[in-house]
A and B are shown apart, each in its own frame.
Chain A
């Protein structure tokens, strides 16, 4: 490619291999890709019965499902943060045997069908399951409870947070951590003052992905938690059920679910750009 100098590149000391013009055919395929995602959304929006929209989404069962979905997705995101941040730190920073295998296994819920995840949870925490049997003796019964919904959501959403955060940790590198340590900061201080602020964007986007994934969870919930209004029937389960008798209600609820997910994702993705830039003025003199 003959040099077609990009205005923004002039006067910067960038490596030549970092600049890559996007060929036109890539744009064409990218447009197709975007259409492939967007068209079905438009198709669904076109099906929404707007005259009945408000009554459809404010029925008692719909509101119960929406509230339950928001509650459980929030709880499972919190659980993902508590368990996922340490997991990502260990995977990115520590060195031990079997680390690669551990990473591959932890990412399994990303690629395994959620129903399989639900079955795995059932055979572990169910009444007859590996651990569930002992829990049952102690009087703890997880199946058919809201706890089961949160567990199913956390199971499928955790890899999203771990993956996103681990990537940020590796990109951020250990320079600043090392400097802080040589200045006498203890590991916990380094984690709190340097590492976490550095990877905040990755942490936020990971948490948002986890929330969105939890909000859309269906298969594992249905298999592990069952379906009862106000207890375990989240919005996706309600949509699937309504589809049987009232397609209009199913479409309205689907639209609601998409709207909620869209709001959450767009809100969270707008903010995280700044912290990294201000904290790590890369290339600054």
Chain B
């Protein structure tokens, strides 16, 4: 009996530890930010807006959400950032999304094929791939061709996900055959393998490279015709917040939104 009590208390302690860690890792509430009021004559918007956006939009959309809330004090914007195809699955399975922003047109098409897109999606940004190496550049890589050499620990996305498809076509247009040591399931995993110094080089979006700051060195691919990923955004047709959704999309496509996106490294649509 004594033993099981000891075991139980040990387990309880570890569970407690685990849950504390978990609760600390949740997304922080962005601090309120004062932005000049943009809309004043329109009827006041209120309610909660659920925005489902591609993982690569996390920083920029969190900023834009703060701006939107500042402009509409009665509105609460809550985000769900994940891989675009995961988000599409969630929405088609009935997740309460009002706005969907995809990292590629293929996933937006999946949602419109499911009759879940209201109106026509608008392209609001573009993204291209770049080569990143750890800040110390352990393998002395200076070009895309260097990264394709045998013995180099190159990490890319799997061809099944958008960043992997782009990597494949970029390699083809550079006339290179890539021999990666790992094909990750998301672009953030690729970046993680590079920032931790585990990989010699990785192919990520320019926006990811920019967000990693000084932890990585960016080496442009130097392609004449790089693969350009288009980011479309649309209102979800099952949404009960159509007006709010439209207002948010307007912010993303307007000058303010475009500036935030450009600052993060996204290209204009």
Most B Cβ at <10 Å: residue of A111, A122, A222, A247: A111
B interface, how many residues as a size bin?
20 to 34
Which residue, A103, A108, A110, A244, has most C-beta atoms of chain B within 10 A?
A244
Q: A113-B18, A116-B21, A227-B158 are in contact. Are A222 and B198 (CB under 8 A)?
A: no
Kindly list chain B residues whose C-beta atoms are within 8 Å of the C-beta of A127.
Answer: 197-198
CB < 8 Å: which of B10, B15, B22 contacts A103?
A: B10
Q: A113-B18, A244-B85, A244-B160 are in contact. Are A104 and B182 (CB under 8 A)?
A: no
Q: Are B155 and A244 in contact (CB under 8 A)?
A: no
A269 at the A/B interface (Cβ < 8 Å)? Answer: no
Q: How far is the CA of A245 from the CA of B10 in the complex (A)?
A: 43
Tell me whether A161 is interfacial, beta carbon within 8 Å.
no
User: Is A147 interfacial (CB 8 A cutoff)?
Assistant: no
CB-CB contacts below 8 Å: A193-247 with B: 222-223, 225-229, 232-233, 237, 240-245, 247
Asked if A276 is at the interface of the complex by the 8 Å CB criterion, the answer is no
Q: Determine if A104 and B184 form an interchain contact, defined as CB atoms under 8 angstroms apart.
A: no
| Distance between Cα atoms of A128 and B192 in the complex (Å) | 13
Asked if B14 lies at the interface with its beta carbon under 8 angstroms from chain A, I say yes
**C-alpha gap A143/B155 in the complex (Å):** 12
B41 at the A interface (CB under 8 A): no
For A223, the chain B residues whose CB sits under 8 A away are 192
Q: Quick check: B185 and A100 within 8 Å, CB to CB?
A: no
Q: Which residues of chain A are near B13, meaning CB under 8 Å?
A: 104
Minimum CB–CB distance for B11 against chain A, Å: 7
Interface residue from B10, B153, B181, B196 paired with A122 (Cβ < 8 Å): B196
Asked if residues B185 and A244 are in contact (CB atoms below 8 Å), the reply is yes
Determine the distance from Cα of A205 to Cα of B116 in the docked complex, in whole angstroms: 48
Q: Are A170 and B3 in contact (CB under 8 A)?
A: yes
A46 interface residue, CB < 8 Å from B?
A: no
B185 touches A237 (CB 8 A): yes
- Chain B residues within an 8 Å CB radius of A113: 18, 21-22
Task: List A contacts of B182 (CB < 8 A).
Answer: 144, 225-228, 232
Q: Which of B10, B182, B198 has the most CB of A within 10 A?
A: B198
Contacts of A126 in B (CB 8 A): 196-198
Distance A100 CA – B8 CA, assembled complex (angstroms): 11
Q: Are A143 and B14 in contact (CB-based, < 8 A)?
A: no
A100 to B14, CA, bound (A): 12
Nearest Cβ in chain A — how far from B154, in angstroms?
A: 10
Assign chain A's interface to a size class. Answer: 35 or more
List chain A residues, Cβ under 8 A from B185.
222, 227, 237, 240-241, 244
Say whether B183 faces chain A, with CB atoms less than 8 Å apart. Answer: yes
In the complex the two chains form, what is the Cα distance from A203 to B198 in whole Å? 37
Tell me the chain A residues, 104-140 only, with Cβ under 8 Å from chain B: 104, 107-108, 110-113, 116, 122-123, 126-128
Complex Cα spacing A232 to B197, Å: 19
In the assembled complex, the CB of B5 is this many whole angstroms from the nearest CB of chain A, namely 11
User: Among A103, A222, A228, A241, which residue has its beta carbon within 8 angstroms of that of B160?
Assistant: A241
- The chain B residue with its CB closest to the CB of A115 is B25
What B residues does A232 contact at CB under 8 A? 182
Tell whether, in the assembled complex, residue A226 and residue B184 are in contact, meaning their CB atoms are under 8 Å apart.
Answer: yes
B86, B184, B199: the one contacting A227 at CB < 8 Å is: B184
CB neighbours (8 Å) of A111 from chain B are 11, 14-15, 17-18
Q: How far is the CB of A188 from chain B (nearest CB, A)?
A: 25
B198 x A128 contact (CB < 8 A): yes
Whether B6 is near chain A, meaning CB under 8 Å from some CB there, is: yes
- CB B26 to nearest CB in A, in angstroms, measures 13
Q: Smallest distance from the beta carbon of B8 to chain A beta carbons, Å?
A: 11
**A145 vs chain B, min Cβ distance (A):** 9
Contact A244 B83 (CB under 8 A): yes
Report the minimum CB–CB distance from A123 to chain B (whole Å): 8
Shortest 9 CB-CB distances between A and B: which pairs?
A: A226-B182, A128-B197, A104-B10, A144-B181, A111-B18, A111-B14, A245-B160, A244-B160, A244-B85
* 27 residue pairs bridging A and B, Cβ less than 8 Å apart: A100-B6, A103-B6, A103-B10, A108-B14, A111-B15, A112-B21, A113-B21, A113-B22, A123-B196, A126-B196, A126-B197, A126-B198, A127-B197, A127-B198, A143-B198, A144-B182, A144-B198, A144-B199, A225-B182, A227-B183, A228-B183, A233-B183, A241-B185, A243-B85, A243-B86, A244-B160, A245-B160
Supplied contacts A107-B14, A144-B199, A226-B193, 19 more A-B pairs, CB within 8 Å: A103-B6, A104-B10, A108-B14, A110-B11, A112-B21, A113-B21, A122-B198, A123-B196, A126-B196, A126-B197, A127-B198, A128-B196, A143-B198, A170-B3, A227-B158, A227-B183, A228-B182, A242-B160, A244-B158
